[in-house]
């Protein structure tokens, strides 16, 4: 992340979005979605047909709280969101749910520090959006971010929960030269594998500010080349326009199908250690991360 990252004041807004669900309150919304203690799941045929957009549901709980892993059930549509710090992962979930994540303050450093799942109901379907720390998080090494994400993926797969989508975000205004973007994408594609590529959406953000700017179009075509391996395997590329409709269009396009990622199969089915997996072998060896204020200033301003 560069210090010039565009940080805008957060405003409470009402979006066309799904409703929030608190743990234990899910049963009040629909019989189709129940808490782990009452797992009467929706039975539906698995298909890749895009979801029909059922429109907005009013926000019932104007608060955003993560739900525990144990509350996720196989009938949920689970979507994991990955990317580099500041690419817009949390903001994307804000737009889907209509509720802003709690944030200590406007910061130059990365905000999301853990893998956190948020539940939201739209129509009669419960969606779980999983926010993650950026691959180049300020206080965490790439290995630590990878390990946290891999542990979450391992646990959910062991609970028979498969992902409907994996969204990888990149700001169209960011450069690709830093090496971080290249490395992060390599780790990401190693996590997904070719067999699950059709579950992947490669999303560029900031199009509300950059619409049809020549430099963005140039970056877009560069990214499509950089991301060619996954796109050729069946992943799709999408633009995000920073609205609820744009976010839901991307999510609905994923349909209902669920698949295991390569990383999950490698760890759970093949018994590999995390560092022996395709993605794990692409994670650089542990580097020291800034721990104190002076470390952080040095990192941000390069002295
Ligand atoms: N205009 C605009 N701003 C965006 C967009 N995506 C993200 N932002 C802003 O960019 C900043 C960083 O976005 P976040 O969603 O918090 O970043 P993140 O990917 O979660 O990264 P972490 O800080 O590591 O958690 C916030 O101020 C967002 O409001 C977008 O598509 N358009
Ligand atoms: Mg975040």
156 Cβ inside 6 Å of ligand 1 = no
> Looking at residue 51, what is its pLDDT?
61
Which ligand minimizes its atom distance to the CA of 250?
A: 1
Buried b / exposed e along 227-245 (16+ C-beta atoms within 10 A): beebbebebbebbbbbebe
Binding site membership of 88 for ligand 1 (Cβ less than 6 Å) = yes
Give pLDDT, residue 135: 86
For ligand 1, atom 7: residue with the closest CA = 88
Q: Which atom of ligand 1 is nearest to the CA of 103?
A: 16
CA-nearest residue for atom 27, ligand 1, is: 7
| Ligand 1 touching residue 7 (CB < 6 A) | yes
- The residue contributing the CA closest to ligand 1 atom 31 is 206
For ligand 1, the distance from its centroid to the CA atom of residue 109, given in whole angstroms, is: 12
| C-alpha span between 99 and 96 (Å, rounded) | 8
CB-CB contact of 226 with 202 (8 Å):
no
Is 206 a pocket residue for ligand 1 (Cβ < 6 Å)?
yes
The answer, yes or no, to whether any atom of ligand 1 lies below 6 A from the CB of 138, is no
Digits of tens for pLDDT over the chain (303 positions)? Answer: 333 344 343 333 333 455 554 333 333 333 333 333 333 333 333 445 566 554 543 344 445 689 999 999 999 999 999 999 999 999 999 999 988 766 554 454 558 889 999 999 998 899 999 999 998 877 788 899 999 999 999 999 999 999 999 999 999 999 887 678 899 999 999 999 999 999 999 999 999 997 778 999 999 999 999 999 999 999 999 999 999 999 999 999 999 999 999 999 999 999 999 999 999 999 987 655 555 555 555 445 544
Please indicate whether residue 235, judged by its CB atom, sits closer than 6 Å to ligand 1: no
Tell me the CA–centroid distance for residue 149 and ligand 2, in Å. 14
Instruction: Evaluate whether 119 touches 26 at the Cβ level (below 8 Å).
Output: yes
C-alpha span between 149 and 38 (Å, rounded): 27
Kindly state the DSSP code that residue 166 receives in the 8-state scheme: E
Q: How far apart are the first and last CA of the chain?
A: 16
Q: Check pocket membership of 87 for ligand 1, CB cut-off 6 A.
A: yes
What is the structure's pLDDT at 100? 77
CA 89 to ligand 1 center in whole angstroms:
7
Q: Angle 143-146-148 (CA atoms, 0-180°, nearest 5)?
A: 110
Q: Is the CB of 277 under 6 A from ligand 1?
A: no
- CA–chain centroid gap for 106, Å, is 21
Q: How high is the pLDDT of residue 110? A: 58
Strands 165-171 and 77-83: parallel
pTM > 0.85: yes or no: no
Contacts of 142 (CB under 8 A, 6+ apart): 135, 136, 183, 184, 187, 283, 284, 287
State the pLDDT at residue 60.
Answer: 43
Q: Which residues pair with 104 in a beta bridge?
A: none
- Which pLDDT score, from 0 to 100, does residue 131 have? 96
Q: Distance of CA 177 to CAs 174, 209, 219, 251, Å?
A: 9, 22, 11, 29
């Amino acid at each position: 992340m560069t210090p010039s990252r565009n940080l805008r004041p957060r405003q409470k807004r009402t979006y066309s979005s799904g409703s929030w669900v608190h743990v234990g309150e899910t049963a009040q919304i629909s019989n189709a979605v129940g808490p782990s203690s009452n797992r009467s799941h929706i039975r539906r045929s698995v298909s890749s047909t895009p979801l029909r957009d059922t429109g907005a549901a009013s926000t019932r709980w104007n608060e955003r709280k993560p739900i525990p892993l144990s509350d996720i059930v196989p009938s949920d549509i689970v979507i994991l969101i990955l990317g580099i710090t500041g690419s817009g992962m949390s903001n994307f979930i804000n737009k889907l749910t209509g509720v802003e994540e709690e944030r200590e303050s406007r910061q130059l450093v990365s905000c999301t520090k853990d893998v956190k799942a948020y539940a939201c109901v739209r129509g009669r379907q419960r969606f779980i959006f999983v926010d993650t720390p950026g691959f180049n998080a300020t206080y965490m090494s790439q290995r630590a971010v990878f390990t946290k994400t891999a542990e979450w993926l391992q646990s959910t797969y062991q609970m028979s929960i498969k992902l409907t989508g994996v969204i990888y975000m990149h700001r169209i205004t960011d450069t690709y030269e830093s090496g971080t973007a290249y490395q992060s994408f390599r780790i990401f594609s190693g996590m997904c594998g070719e067999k699950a590529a059709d579950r992947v959406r490669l999303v560029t953000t900031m199009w509300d500010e950059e619409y049809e700017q020549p430099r963005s179009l140039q970056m877009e075509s560069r990214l499509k080349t950089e991301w060619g391996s996954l796109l050729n395997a069946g992943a799709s590329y999408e633009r995000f326009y920073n609205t609820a409709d744009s976010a839901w269009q991307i999510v609905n396009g994923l349909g209902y199908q669920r698949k295991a990622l390569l990383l999950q199969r490698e760890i759970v089915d093949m018994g590999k250690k995390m560092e022996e997996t395709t993605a794990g072998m692409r994670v650089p060896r542990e580097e020291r991360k800034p721990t104190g204020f002076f470390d952080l200033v040095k990192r941000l301003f390069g002295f």
